[in-house]
Amino acid sequence: MHFDNLYHQFFSLSFDGLNIGAIYALIALGYTLVYGVLRLINFAHSEIFMIGTFTALFATRWMDIPANAVPHHGIAIVFILVGAGLVAMAASGAAAVALERIAYRPLRRRGASRLAALISAIGASLFLQELFAKWKGRDPIPFPRIMKKEHLATVLRADIRSDKVIIITTAVLMMILLDRFVGLTRLGRGIRAVAQDAETAALMGVDIDRVITTTFLIGGLMAGVAGILYMVYYENTVYNIGFVPGIKAFTAAVLGGIGNLRGALLGGLLLGLLENYGGALFGAQWKDVTAFVLLVVVLMFRPTGLLGESLGRARV
Amino acid sequence: MPDHRTFRRVVAVMAVSATVVAACSSSKKSSSTAAGSSGGGCSATIGFFGAITGSEGALGTNENDGIKLAISQFESANPSCKVNLTTLDSQGDPAQAPALAQKAATDTSLIALIGPAFSGESKVADPIFEQAGLPNMTVSATNPSLGTNGWKFWHRAVGTDNSQGPAAAKYLASTLGAKKVAVLDDGSEYGKGIADIVRSTLKTDGVTVTDSESVDPNATDFSSTVNNIKTTPPDAVFFGGYYQAGGVLAKQLSDAGVKATFMGPDGVEDPGFVKAAGAAAEGAILLAPGTPADKLPGSFTSAYQALNGQAPGLYSVEGYDAANAILAGIKAGDTTRTSMQTYLATVDYKGLAVEVKFNPTTHELASAVTIWASTVTNGQIVSKAPISV
């Protein structure tokens, strides 16, 4: 037990925890949205994230940024990040929609059980991983350093770094946007209606297929954002990069209450924080154990997660 | 209803493609060509067992390419002999090793095996070779405990972490003059093994170990560890593990403003470390038993480069030496598992870097191996000096 580590680095750990937690939360949105609408755990979502990281990498190559590039400055950073981010979002979004069309919709049309869709999800996940492994090899590929990781300020002994500030603010902004979208727009209302009661929604004139496609698209877009942000922080990608963040994001979604958008945000940030506190207190080997023990404890007392499963009932 | 047919087709296509992809990935590059073992008295099939792909794949590839060079030179010197190489790609994963080891054990054309490359996979694969009576020689599994199993068919043509660990500690304490060192590992058989030796040697040398943790090598965010290290800033950070995780860790430490010298054992000494760490790799100290790649004879380096299309790396020459020792046996007519085993008991082959000669009871190298320290300068791993313990 290293209480002094936790005590001395508390705010630093919190800041780093929010950083990785924000990325978990973005990925968790994809799990939670699809679960809310289809009652399906989309296990291939971690590969949608992986596609996001790869296309962000390709985007930097199209922009002629060499792997050992000198970090850029000012407006160039914004341009590169937004450019690569949009490419990653487009690719992840398209991949998510294609995944729904190929792996889930045919099963749904035939009224196959949810278990069949789950197997299809696992199959699609393996397929996409191996596809990228065959195409790009199994070795990690470095991502160029786009921006200098600059020390901005020291707040309560925490080292506030530019890349982490960008990651946290972008992630939180995207989540607020999404929350507003689901809460206020017509399409968002459709999503909530289908989540609440698909049959009644259909009777009321909601085009279910369109709603489902939109749901996958949004989940994919968020995974794309997570992809570029993860690359800014981690600067490496590989065919199975989605595995660990995918599991963590799924956990975050369950922790916050799967099917609940704000739950995904809360769960992601909380998981990132708990992991880091656990790692500091007991050593890195206990990082995941701490996070998962707390998940079990939360589920014991609140089986539906911290905020409950309520995409349908999400208040505006 | 066109749906039904389309659906069936889609599922069929998906199922087929999934099977194909899965099959491709599981069968890997085990290009076993059993044919050819019939010709002359000096033809045989030998195997290599280790990671060719995956995040530690470079180390196995180095060995495998060294073996390939030895075989091609052997064949051109002895045109009547035909030696096949069966490469078994374990991806360095102890979970995949037993099935692959079983495959090697039942492949009766295989008379000897170089590998397993890593300690973790050795622990699970070697009992299977033992049962099958398949002589094997590792050139890179350095965990000392492997030698304590009483395996008869196992041989180790490399120094152990019992020499590498104290050498690392000595370098930290004497050459770097470090007073405080953080010692991390990846929790693997090899990584934790060597880190534990470094920890205990440092303590007896009076150096404070400020942080001692096992990180998850598959994790990508080491922020809690980085924060723990920052609590008591050390003079150096030692990481027991492999190059990919080591590179990521070095980068995150340097980004967080930790100025400590980064040090890693042979598992980290690979260009992959520089690739993963980027600029943070500069000045890192890497250790390895045996001759560093840039101290090898030029003829070896150029022949290796010509055959494999890349420069030799860590353990390329050890793989080459081990293969040559086995090939000398094959030349002498030892083309069955039993005769190869008898041959290895008394082998004395002077290679470029290793004198392949085993202690008759422990099956470890008969003579001590020098540990070399290298450093990263301008993105290149450059040898510095041998460490005398």
Does any CB of chain A come closer than 8 Å to the CB of residue B272? yes
pLDDT in tens, B235-281: 999 999 989 899 999 999 998 888 899 999 988 988 889 988 888 88
pLDDT at residue B30 tops 70: no
CB nearest to B256's CB, from A107, A159, A275: A159
Separation in Å, CA of A184 to nearest CA in chain B: 35
Backbone angle region of A234, left / alpha / beta, with phi > 0 → left and psi within -120 to 50 → alpha = alpha
pLDDT at A286: 85
Does any CB of chain A come closer than 8 Å to the CB of residue B388? no
Separation in Å, CA of A165 to nearest CA in chain B: 14
Closest-CA residue of B relative to A239 is: B54
**pLDDT tier for residue B35 given thresholds of 50, 70 and 90:** very low
Separation in Å, CA of A242 to nearest CA in chain B: 11
Does any CB of chain A come closer than 8 Å to the CB of residue B294? no
Q: B222-244: b or e for each residue (b if 16 or more CB lie within 10 Å)?
A: bbbbbbbbbbeebbbbbbbbbbb
**pLDDT tier for residue B368 given thresholds of 50, 70 and 90:** confident
pLDDT in tens, B318-353: 999 999 999 999 999 899 999 999 999 999 999 888
pLDDT at residue B308 tops 50: yes
SS3 readout for chain A: CCHHHHHHCHHHHHHHHHHHHHHHHHHHHHHHHHHHHHCCCCCCHHHHHHHHHHHHHHHHHHCCCCCCCCCECHHHHHHHHHHHHHHHHHHHHHHHHHHHHHHHHHHHHCCCCHHHHHHHHHHHHHHHHHHHHHHHCCCCEECCCCECCCEEEEECCEEEEHHHHHHHHHHHHHHHHHHHHHHHCHHHHHHHHHHHCHHHHHHCCCCHHHHHHHHHHHHHHHHHHHHHHHHHHHCEECCCCCHHHHHHHHHHHHHHCCCCHHHHHHHHHHHHHHHHHHHHHHCHHHHHHHHHHHHHHHHHHCCCCCCCCCCCCCCC
Provide, as residue numbers in chain A, all residues whose Cβ is less than 8 Å from the Cβ of B213. Answer: 283-285
Q: What's the rounded mean pLDDT across residues B32-60?
A: 73
Provide, as residue numbers in chain A, all residues whose Cβ is less than 8 Å from the Cβ of B378. Answer: none
Does any CB of chain A come closer than 8 Å to the CB of residue B259? no
Residue B130 has which token pair?
A: 């033992």
Separation in Å, CA of B7 to nearest CA in chain A: 6
CB nearest to A284's CB, from B55, B214, B218: B214
CB pairs under 8 A between A and B: 141
pLDDT at residue B1 tops 60: no
CB nearest to A283's CB, from B58, B213, B251: B213
Asked whether the beta carbons of residue B215 and residue A161 sit closer than 8 angstroms, the reply is no
B4-160+293-356 is classed CATH 3.30.420.10: no
Asked whether the beta carbons of residue B278 and residue A68 sit closer than 8 angstroms, the reply is yes
Q: What's the rounded mean pLDDT across residues B298-311?
A: 90
Q: What is the DSSP letter of A72?
A: B
Provide, as residue numbers in chain A, all residues whose Cβ is less than 8 Å from the Cβ of B226. Answer: 16
Within this chain, domains B4-160+293-356 and B162-288+371-387 share the same CATH topology: yes
pLDDT at B36: 39
Provide, as residue numbers in chain B, all residues whose Cβ is less than 8 Å from the Cβ of A10. Answer: none
Provide, as residue numbers in chain B, all residues whose Cβ is less than 8 Å from the Cβ of A131. Answer: 21
Model confidence pTM above 0.90:
no
Backbone angle region of A257, left / alpha / beta, with phi > 0 → left and psi within -120 to 50 → alpha = left
Provide, as residue numbers in chain B, all residues whose Cβ is less than 8 Å from the Cβ of A139. Answer: 53-55, 57-58, 272
Domain locations in chain B?
A: 4-160+293-356, 162-288+371-387
Does any CB of chain A come closer than 8 Å to the CB of residue B127? no
Separation in Å, CA of A274 to nearest CA in chain B: 10
Backbone angle region of A92, left / alpha / beta, with phi > 0 → left and psi within -120 to 50 → alpha = alpha
Does any CB of chain A come closer than 8 Å to the CB of residue B91? yes
Contact (CB, 8 A) for A21 and A240: no
Q: Residue B78: count other Cβ atoms within 10 Å of its Cβ.
A: 16
pLDDT at residue B5 tops 60: no
Closest-CA residue of B relative to A68 is: B278
Domain locations in chain A?
A: 25-242
**ipTM score of the complex?**
0.81
Closest-CA residue of A relative to B21 is: A130
pLDDT in tens, B116-161: 999 999 999 999 999 999 999 999 998 889 989 989 999 999 888 8
Q: Residue A201: count other Cβ atoms within 10 Å of its Cβ.
A: 21
Provide, as residue numbers in chain A, all residues whose Cβ is less than 8 Å from the Cβ of B22. Answer: 126, 130
Asked whether the beta carbons of residue A149 and residue B272 sit closer than 8 angstroms, the reply is no
- Which positions 323-362 of B are in contact with A (Cβ < 8 Å)? none
pLDDT at B14: 52
Output the tens digit of pLDDT for each of chain A's 316 residues: 677 777 778 888 898 899 999 999 999 999 999 998 888 889 999 999 999 999 999 998 888 777 766 777 778 888 888 999 999 999 999 999 999 999 989 998 888 888 898 899 999 999 999 999 889 887 788 888 888 777 777 877 777 888 889 999 999 999 999 989 988 888 888 888 888 888 888 888 888 888 999 999 999 999 999 999 999 988 888 898 998 899 999 999 999 988 888 889 999 999 999 998 988 888 888 888 888 888 888 888 888 888 877 655 544 3
Query: What's B162-288+371-387's CATH class?
Result: alpha beta
Whole-angstrom Cα distance, residue A196 to residue A214?
Answer: 16
Contact (CB, 8 A) for B347 and B363: no
The rounded mean pLDDT for chain B is 85
Lowest-confidence segment of B12-21, B35-44, B207-216, B319-328 by average pLDDT: B12-21
Q: What is the DSSP letter of A69?
A: P
- Which positions 231-250 of B are in contact with A (Cβ < 8 Å)? 231, 244, 248
pLDDT at B51: 92
| Residue A219: Cβ-neighbour burial (10 angstroms; 0-12, 13-18, 19+) | buried
Whole-angstrom Cα distance, residue B376 to residue B276?
Answer: 13
Tell which wins on pLDDT, A25 or B388.
A25
CB nearest to B227's CB, from A12, A140, A230: A12
pLDDT at residue B162 tops 90: no
Asked whether the beta carbons of residue A139 and residue B21 sit closer than 8 angstroms, the reply is no
